[in-house]
Structures are given as structure tokens and as C-alpha cells.
Amino acid sequence: MKLTRYTDYALRVLIYLSLNPERQCSIAEIAAGYGSSENHLMKVVQQLAREGFVLSTRGRGGGIRLGMPAEKIRVGAVVRATEPDMDLAECGTCVIRGYCGLTSVFSRACAAFLGVLDGVTLADVVQSGDALMAQLRLGLKPAKGGRSAGKRAMPAGRGSKAGAAA
């Protein structure tokens, strides 16, 4: 199973924001660090805001930040919100649909995959704190809990599908 680039970007935006908890971040700064277009990230951030994962403030001094503590954001919830199709196979038009046992196997496999992701929070994936920020080349100032505030951020994206989100 591969996650779309959209989900990959959503998770990376959330990681970036969790590494910058002390301030509002701009889409432009994230896009610059990501090597992505602002328009593409704007769509991702709009959905993250609709889902409550981020708070968005318009105007001067505005920006985005996490909508809840990183410890409350489950990776599985983000994947469910951003993946349009979690089906592992195109069973809908198959001539043996209803007679084949693969449909239930694929359904259980997908449930297991999401179950693992439900057991992981955003805070879990940023535990490496300073090392992660150094890899992202963020200007670091240690903050409480080993996390730091920074300025810019992300490695360039991949193709239209991403093998692993973050």
C-alpha cells in the first residue's frame, strides 16, 4: 500500500508545525523548505484546518499552527482524512466480486494497517527532536520537552505516490 503525495505532505506539514510549537508558521515558509508550490500546500493545509488538525489565522501576523497537542493527533486519523481511497484492490467491477475471499482479506489487512497508525501520535514521530530538526536544517533553539522552535523546513517531495509518509 502506498500513500499519496497529498497525505505525505499533510503529515510533513504536521511534523513541521510540531517542531515549531512556539509560533505561527507560514505556508510560504513550509513550501520553500519543502520544494513544493504554495498552492499545493494551501490545499493540504485547508483540509487539515477543516479536520481540526491545524488552526489557521489570516492577515498580518497570521499563519498556521497545530490545532491540538501533537500527543492528540493520531497518524491513522490523518491518513483517513487525507486518503481518498483506502481500497487495496479494485473489487467493485470484478466479475468474481461476492464469490472471492480476497475482499475480506484486503479489508482486514487495511484495518490492521490503520490500526498500527492509530497507535502512533504525531508526538511519537517527532521524538528525535533536535536530531530531526538538524536533518531538516531548522534554526534551533531548544524548547520545553526537547523540542525546538525553528525557521524553515522540509526535504523535497517525491513522486505522485510516497512509499512512507514520514
Residue 135's pLDDT is 63
Please count the other Cβ atoms lying within 10 Å of the Cβ belonging to residue 30: 25
Q: Any idea what DSSP says for residue 121?
A: B
- pTM (whole model) above 0.85: no
3-state SS string over 60-85? Answer: CCCEEEECCCHHHCEHHHHHHHHCCC
CATH of the domain spanning 3-85+122-156, picked from 3.40.50.2300, 1.10.10.10, 1.10.10.60, 3.20.20.10: 1.10.10.10
Residue 88's pLDDT is 84
pLDDT along the chain (166 residues), means of 10: 91 91 88 81 96 93 94 97 88 86 90 96 86 62 40 38 40
Give the start-to-end residue ranges of the domains of the chain: 3-85+122-156
Residue 147's pLDDT is 40
Euclidean distance between CA atoms 19 and 140, whole angstroms: 10
Euclidean distance between CA atoms 59 and 29, whole angstroms: 15
Buried b (16+ CB within 10 A) or exposed e, 56-74: beeeeeebbbbbeebeebb
CA angle 6, 158, 112 (to 5 degrees): 55
Q: How many CA atoms lie within 13 A of 141 on its CB side?
A: 7
Residue 4's pLDDT is 93
